[in-house]
Amino acid sequence: MTHKNHTLTRRNFVAAAGAVGFMSLACPSILRAQGATIKVGMPTILSGRVAILGETASVGARMIIDAVNAEGGIDGRQIELVIRDTKGKPDEAARITRELINNDKCELILDAEASGGSFAVHEVMRDTGLYCIHSISEASALTADPANHVHWIFRSGRQGIHDAIAGGLYASGLAKNGVKRWAVCSPDYSYGRDTTAEFREFLSVFAPDVQFVGETWPKAFQPDYTENITNLLNIAPEGLYTCLWGGDLVAFFDQASLYGLFDQFQTVAVNMGDAPVLEAIKNLPAGIHSGNRYHKDVPDTQANEIWNTAFRKSGKLPTNWGWQAYTGAHFVVEALKATKGDTNRDKLADATRGRKIVSPHGVDGTVTMREGDNTLIGYAVGYGKTLSTDPHLTDFQPTPWDVILQHEAEWKERKKYL
Amino acid sequence: MKPLTTVQCDCLIAFVFFLALLALGVIFPSLWLMDTLTALFASGLLAMSLHLLVGYTGLVSFGHAAYFAAGGYVFGMVLQANGFVEAAGAWSVPLAILAAFAATGLFALIVGLICARLSEVYFAFLTLAFQMLFVSLIQGLVEFTGGDQGLVGGIPRPVFLGIDLTESWDRYAFCAFLFTAGVLAIRLVTQSSFGYTLRMVRDNERRTAFLGVNTYRVKVVSFTIAGSVASLGGVILAIFTSAAYPEWASWSNSGEAIFMIMLGGLNSFLGPLAGALAMRAINDVTLLYTTHTDLAKGVVILFVVLILKRGILDYAIDLVRNRRAQADNERAKALHRRDGERVDTREDADAAA
């Protein structure tokens, strides 16, 4: 039996190195011609107490990207979603986003970070100059404050100010029925304080005779709410506003229910209306006034029903984060279709700005990426009441968008954002 | 030719090290590598400056991340201040760095003056208390610091001396320079007579005091220098992220720096740097398989503490030293045996004669 001599000679080595060098230079064009994937980076929270945020956001984004890939992709190119855990830490979010761009070679970013992290991602995207859509953060300043405006960065999530206007208007209806003395119990960090301040501002606009008689501010991930509950019992308000969310909201409701807190006054909980929260609370009290977040009956359309069923096939319950990431991915796909797969940030931004897309979450079956501040409008906003059993939310009262837009413009003037 | 003094020798090594970092960026111009190294420069300076306290002075500070964050915040706030960039023009960034260095030094001096009166666990707790106070200040002064959302809106970094910090290569090179300068500063301190006084304070404070040394003053100066150098790490991270976040000042960040020192080695100058590198490697490798990075870090720390019983670099240095000693020993034994044989041969020859 004969053996070929496989020793690597210097000549062979030089030839191989030359070939590799040529390939690396020629690669982008070859890969493009062969339909290389378009990589979309997604920094999000996949660990800790709010891991559900990243898990459901991933499901939402994958729904639309898988559908596009199944149809053959964009101009023959498949889209690959590269998802990374940021642990909810802003500095980690900044680092991971840079890695997604530099190491994983993502050409655009679909940010699925909570508020703190999204500002970190925002600065990285401003620095690197790549196209980005924030899909989760509700902090109004992210897109409303001109200091943060970057023409290639968008937001596909709901905005705190929209919910504040809807909440203020809804709560003013309660005020007309005698709920005049209000207290707040919101998380002790920027999101909680800003959102609560916005709610107070608009409740005072719509019902100037209300009074805020007390406030209590639980910390993030606080295990025991006894102190806050006792405080609320002492204040004895007629109405309570809370923007606690996720696991914190569930823990607060479970503990406060033991004291019969919700039998003593009306409660407005903007973040109650998400299926995992509604189903996680052990004895969900009836009659809690809640924002819609995501609900299968809001809007009450067949498209939303189909979307809800499709989402649940993943084994996860649909959330507000799920539809927001879905919407973000939808805008990404539509922009890529318009540019025929070109990921140039200015071309993508031009294709996104002012675009209206068909959406199961839109009030009229569409949502729009508003020009001017690159933020989403037209999605379902409003309040309803909880039920102890399925469907958990009833008597939904949508807030008309013309009312929201009018008050938002006045708010921007007051904040000197215009 | 006159032999180089220790200071000259350290400066020369630092210069060569800086050139090596630049060469690394030129030979491997990968954005990933440059970004990874830039982040390492920041955490490396945090750990190395803390090592000046923990390893050389014997002071375990649990609040060191506060000075790291203070550097980043002062740097960002100065550059974001209305009219500063317009007034300072091309000198904005160097002036902001000087401001961050000086302001953090002052902050560390004030805290040091209070904390250095105490020792051991009381000192550690007081530094932790000041760190918590600082975090509360960051979160409370929303108008200036952005509260818990951090210093957002981007930090302007105008071009200076032809260096554009928005460009990857320029940013990397400049951060490498800051890092080298910080490490060199710590090195010069540890190699000076003051550095040896620090070791004396660490080993026996009372005996050092009997020798006439004002140990309180020595500890305060050490604390101030460590805080000032840590601020450079914060500046690097602020340049890198174009922002600053309250998490930088958190006790967990201080704890991570202590882990880095333990992991790398308490008894070697570059131990903390090795720890920072190892910590980053553990984090990135773990993330390839699972999100439980803290669990992996815990297991490695347990291994280092229970099995190696010292940091990685200390272990490696001891290993080399032991092998060398063993080799020397064997060589000596061989020589001894040969000498013995020679003596025997001579004695036999004498007897035969």
Residues of B in contact with A147 (CB under 8 A): 153-154
Do B150 and A90 count as a contact with CB atoms less than 8 A apart?
Answer: yes
Is the Cβ–Cβ distance between B309 and B296 less than 8 Å?
no
pTM here is 0.80
CB pair distance less than 8 Å for B242 and A126 = yes
Q: Is B152 within 8 Å of A139 when comparing Cβ atoms?
A: no
Question: B28, B79, B241, B242: which to substitute to probe chain A, counting the most A Cβ within 10 Å?
Answer: B241
**pLDDT at residue A30 in the model:** 45
Question: How far apart, in whole angstroms, are the C-alpha atoms of residue B49 and residue B285?
Answer: 26
Q: What is the ipTM of this complex?
A: 0.73
The answer to whether A73 and A79 are in contact (CB under 8 A) is yes
From A393, A328, A404, A399, select the one nearest A367 (Cα to Cα): A328
pLDDT per residue as tens digits for the range B204-234: 989 999 999 999 999 999 999 999 999 999 9
The pLDDT tens digits for A46-74 are 988 788 899 999 999 999 999 999 999 99
Owning domain of residue B156: 6-250
CB B264, CB B51: distance < 8 Å: no
Question: Which residue of B139, B152, B237 is in closest CB contact with A119?
Answer: B152
pLDDT digits (tens, 9 = 90+) for B23-54: 998 898 888 889 889 999 999 999 999 999 99
Q: Is A124–B241 a contact, with Cβ atoms under 8 angstroms apart? A: yes
Q: If you measure CA to CA, which chain A residue comes closest to B141? A: A190
Contact A123 B147 (CB under 8 A): no
* pLDDT at residue B132, rounded to an integer: 93
Examine residue B335 and state whether it is found in any structural domain, yes or no.
Answer: no
pLDDT(B304) > 80: yes
CA A46 to chain centre: 14
Residue A200's pLDDT is 94
- What pLDDT does A102 receive? 87
Q: Is B270 on the interface with A (CB under 8 A)?
A: no
* Whether the Cβ atoms of residue A112 and residue A61 lie closer than 8 Å to each other: yes
B345 vs B95, higher pLDDT: B95
Quick one: A38-159+300-371 is in which CATH superfamily? Response regulator (3.40.50.2300)
Q: CB B247 to CB A145 under 8 A?
A: no
Asked if A299 and A104 count as a contact pair (C-beta separation under 8 A), the reply is no
Give the pLDDT score at A11. 52
| Structure confidence at residue A25 (pLDDT) | 41
pLDDT at A369: 97
Is the CB of residue A60 less than 8 Å from the CB of residue A313?
no
Contacts of B149 in chain A (CB under 8 A): 90, 115-116, 119, 139, 190
pLDDT digits (tens, 9 = 90+) for B172-192: 999 999 999 999 999 999 999
Whether B166 is covered by a domain: the verdict is yes
pLDDT per residue as tens digits for the range A226-247: 999 999 999 999 999 999 988 8
- How far does A338 lie from chain B, in Å, by closest CA? 30
The size of chain A, in residues, is 418
Helix (H, G, I), strand (E, B) or coil at A117: helix
Which residues in chain A come in under a pLDDT of 50?
1-8, 10, 13-14, 16-17, 20-34
pLDDT, position A32: 46
CA–CA min distance A188, chain B (Å):
10
Structural contact between residues A287 and A24, judged by C-beta atoms closer than 8 angstroms: no
Tell me if B291 and A189 make a contact (CB, 8 A cut-off): no
Instruction: Identify whether the C-beta of residue A156 lies closer than 8 Å to the C-beta of residue A327.
Output: yes
Q: What's the gap in Å between the CA of B305 and the closest CA on chain A?
A: 27
More confident residue, B4 or A93: A93
Interacting residues of B155 by C-beta distance below 8 A, sequence separation 6+? B75, B76, B79, B80, B238, B239, B242, B243, B244
- For chain A, the structural domain boundaries read 38-159+300-371, 161-297+381-414
Q: Is residue B348 part of a domain?
A: no
CB contact under 8 A, B245 and A46: no
Q: Which of B146, B154, B240 is closest, CB to CB, to A126?
A: B154
Per residue in B146-175, pLDDT tens? 888 888 778 888 999 989 998 889 999 999
The verdict on a CB contact (< 8 Å) between B242 and A127 is yes
Long-range interactions of B18-23: CB distance < 8 A, separation 24+: B18/B176, B18/B177, B18/B180, B21/B176, B21/B179, B21/B180, B22/B173, B22/B176
* A→B interface, C-beta within 8 Å: 46-47, 84-85, 87, 89-91, 94-95, 98-99, 101-103, 115-116, 119-120, 122-124, 126-127, 139, 141, 145, 147-148, 189-190, 193
Which of B147, B148, B153 is closest, CB to CB, to A147?
B153
- Say if B243 is an interface residue toward chain A (CB within 8 Å): yes
- Which chain B residues are Cβ-neighbours of A99 within 8 angstroms? 32, 35
Residues of chain A in contact with residue B285, where contact means CB-CB under 8 angstroms, are none
Inter-chain CB proximity B152 and A122 less than 8 Å: yes
Q: Which residue of B has its CA nearest to A114?
A: B149
- Distance (Å) from the C-alpha of residue A24 to the closest C-alpha of chain B? 14
Sort out which chain A residues have CB atoms less than 8 A from B287's CB and list them.
84-85
Architecture category of domain A161-297+381-414 in CATH: 3-Layer(aba) Sandwich (3.40)
CATH classification at residue B89 = 1.10.3470
How high is the pLDDT of residue A292? 85
Chain A residues lying within 8 Å of B154, measured CB to CB: 123, 126-127, 147
Q: Which of A98, A123, A147 lies at the smallest CB-CB distance from B35?
A: A98
Which residues from A are below 8 Å from B295, CB to CB?
Answer: none
Helices of type H across A236-343: 246-258, 275-280, 302-312, 320-338
Q: How confident is the model at residue A29, as a pLDDT?
A: 44
The pLDDT tens digits for B90-148 are: 899 999 999 999 999 999 999 999 998 887 789 989 999 999 999 999 988 888 888 88
Per-residue model confidence (pLDDT) at position B343: 73
Q: Establish if B122 belongs to a structural domain.
A: yes
How much is the pLDDT for A13? 45
What is residue B296's predicted lDDT score, i.e. its pLDDT?
Answer: 85
Most confident of B197-201, B265-269, B342-346: B197-201
User: Which chain B residues are within 8 Å of A94, Cβ to Cβ?
Assistant: 240-241, 243
Task: Give the pLDDT confidence score for residue B305 in this predicted structure.
Answer: 81
Please check whether residue A387 is in contact with residue A393, taking contact to mean a CB–CB distance below 8 angstroms: yes
For residue B70, which of B126, B21, B130, B18 has the smallest C-alpha distance? B130
pLDDT of residue A12: 54
Mean pLDDT of the B53-77 span: 94
B 278-297 residues with CB < 8 A to A: 287, 291-292
User: How far, in Å, are A178, A336, A380, B200, B308 from residue A155 at the CA level?
Assistant: 38, 17, 16, 58, 50
Q: How many domains does chain B have?
A: 1
The pLDDT score that the predictor gives to residue A298 is 87
Q: Do domains A38-159+300-371 and A161-297+381-414 have the same CATH topology?
A: yes
Q: What is the C-alpha separation between A280 and A44, in angstroms, rounded?
A: 22
CB A262 within 8 A of CB A235: no
User: pLDDT value at position A35?
Assistant: 59
SS3 call for A18: helix
Pairwise CB contact (< 8 Å): B31 & A102: yes
Q: Give CA–CA dist A92/B176, Å, rounded.
A: 21
Cβ contact, residue pair B245, A126, below 8 Å: no
